[in-house]
Each structure stands twice: as C-alpha cells, then as structure tokens.
Amino acid sequence: MSKLTLGPVLFNWQPEKLRDFYFRMADEADLDSVCVGEVVCSKRTPFFTPFLPDVIERLSAAGKEVVLSSLALIMTEREMDGARELAATEGLMVEANDVSVASLLAGRPFAVGPVVNVYNEGTLACLESIGAVRVCLPPELSAAVMGRLAAGARAELEVQAFGRLPLAISARCYAARARNLAKDGCQYVCADDPDGMAVETLDEDPFLAVNGTQTMSYHYMDLSADLGRLRQLGISRFRLSPQDVDMAAVAGLFRAALAGRTAPAEMGARLAELCPGAEFANGYVHGRPGHLYVEADD
C-alpha cells in the first residue's frame, strides 16, 4: 500500500495558524506521516517552537508518524547548534534537508528531504550506507531516472505529488530585497505571501515563486495522473507539500486516487476547485520542461 506524507510547511504562516493547521491535519486528514519543522529560514523558528510539543502530541495521538524536518541551508554556528540538537532527538524520525544534518544522523535511521541532490545510484547508496531509510527524491527527476534509482534502492523512495516545488535555497532573502529591506531587517515580510510571491518575466509571464530565501516553481505539481506508473516503478510514498488551501481535502483526493476511486480527469477538476487560480504541471516526471502539464495518455 502506498503511503501519503505531508511535507513541512515551507511558508511563513502565523504560529497560531500553523498550530491549528497541524491540529486539523491530525484530526481530519488521511495521512500516514506528517513533517514538521522550519526548512527555509531559521529566523522563523522561535515563533512556532512553543507550539511544537502540542502539535507532535496531537499528531501522534491521531496515529500519524511525526517527522522532524531540518533546515535546508545551514550557515551559522547557531543554526549548526540547532541541527545538532535536532539530530539528538530520540523517538522521532528526523528528515535531513542538508548533507551536514545527514552526517550528524549517521548510524541511526533517518529520512532525506527533496532538497538534497540525490540524482544517481552512488549518492543514494552512500546515504543508505549511513542510515537513510527514506528518501524524497528531487522534484526535477524524470520517471525513467526514478525507476533506475528504485531498482537498486533499499530505502523507501518518495516523490512530491502536490504543491509548489522547492527548487533552490539562497543566502539572500528575495522577499526582503523585493521590498528594499536588508535580510537582517526583513520585518518577516515573507508572511505577506502565504503561498509564496509570484515572479514574472519581463513579458509579465508567471515564471517562478519566491518564499523568503527559497526559489520555488510557480506551478503546483500535480502527479495524480502519474501515480500508477510511479508505483509500478517502485515509488512507495507520495508527498503533499502544504499550500494555503484545504489540505485535508487534497489529502483525501490523493488517497482516493491511490485507491483507484478517482479518475485523472475528475481529480484534476477537483484540485482546480480546491486551488483557485493555481496552474498545475507535471513536466519533469515526463522528462519535459517542468512547467508543462502532460496528459496521462501522452
């Protein structure tokens, strides 16, 4: 049976909103695993930390596996101390989004997030050799490459099936720069864009989205029509990356799709209703440009 993972919230939501979001995921969403933790910017971490124990307790009581996600870019000693503390956590799976965290977790079972560049069999085998038991593959891989990785994998392989794709992390804060603010005085303006800030080309075509220091896809990934093919290739987990929409309903749709209860056309129409204004894509998995949507019979 394929499993559904809710990835960490990548955006800067108000801490009370984030707490209530996870409480609802615990009570209403049909999920196997839920990732919590700050991945993008360590400056956001203190605001949600007081709510974290209650969130973990609520999710665990609801039968969800809780996974603690690390930062994707560690640049300061304070952030490294936080990574060491996270790696020392007992009783919960930790997801490494930076190779330095993976090295700290060596010798115990851990997960690897999609921003770690696992592009070939050698990298996958290296991570497995130090304890990786679950790997969320980078979103830009084609199904053909995923299949080759799955053929020799010992770890569970996961693929992001919904939401804006995490493409890159920078030391520069784009949200602050767009408002003529310095990173150290950012005023947390990334909170103004709960789904990320759209970026347009000079021709005013939507191109990417930015989330503080993170570059994301403008389009939402939708692999609902590709789930069967990916399962046949050996992908056993599918990740839903939270957006500011009804994620409990999104999880229900993907669970129904995995069970064969929802046809691709119906799935696409219902996702469009849940995500008004969003544009969907699945080009990468078909070996095409990532912003394209390739129909299931293509």
Count of structural domains, the chain = 1
Domain that includes residue 158, residue range? 3-165+218-279
Is 12 within the bounds of a domain? yes
- Closest residue by Cα to residue 197 from 209, 186, 208: 209
Q: Tell me the torsion sign for CA atoms 122, 142, 231, 135.
A: positive
Is 40 within the bounds of a domain? yes
Q: Which helix (H) or strand (E) holds 163?
A: strand 156-169
Is 144 within the bounds of a domain? yes
Is 53 within the bounds of a domain? yes
Residues in the chain: 298
Strands 214-222 and 156-169: antiparallel
Is 100 within the bounds of a domain? yes
Is 10 within the bounds of a domain? yes
CATH code, 53: 3.20.20.70
Predicted local distance difference test score (pLDDT) of residue 87: 94
Question: Which pLDDT tens digits describe the chain residue by residue (298 residues)?
Answer: 799 999 999 999 999 999 999 999 999 999 999 999 999 999 999 999 999 999 999 999 999 999 999 999 999 999 999 999 999 999 999 999 999 999 999 999 999 999 999 999 999 999 999 999 999 999 999 999 999 999 999 999 999 999 999 999 998 888 899 899 988 888 889 999 999 999 998 988 888 999 999 999 999 999 999 999 999 999 999 999 999 999 999 999 999 999 989 888 888 899 999 999 999 999 999 999 999 999 875 4
- Closest residue by Cα to residue 162 from 17, 10, 45, 15: 10
Is 170 within the bounds of a domain? no
Tokens 């605001």 correspond to: 47
Q: How far apart are alpha carbons 197 and 210 in whole angstroms?
A: 5
Is 152 within the bounds of a domain? yes
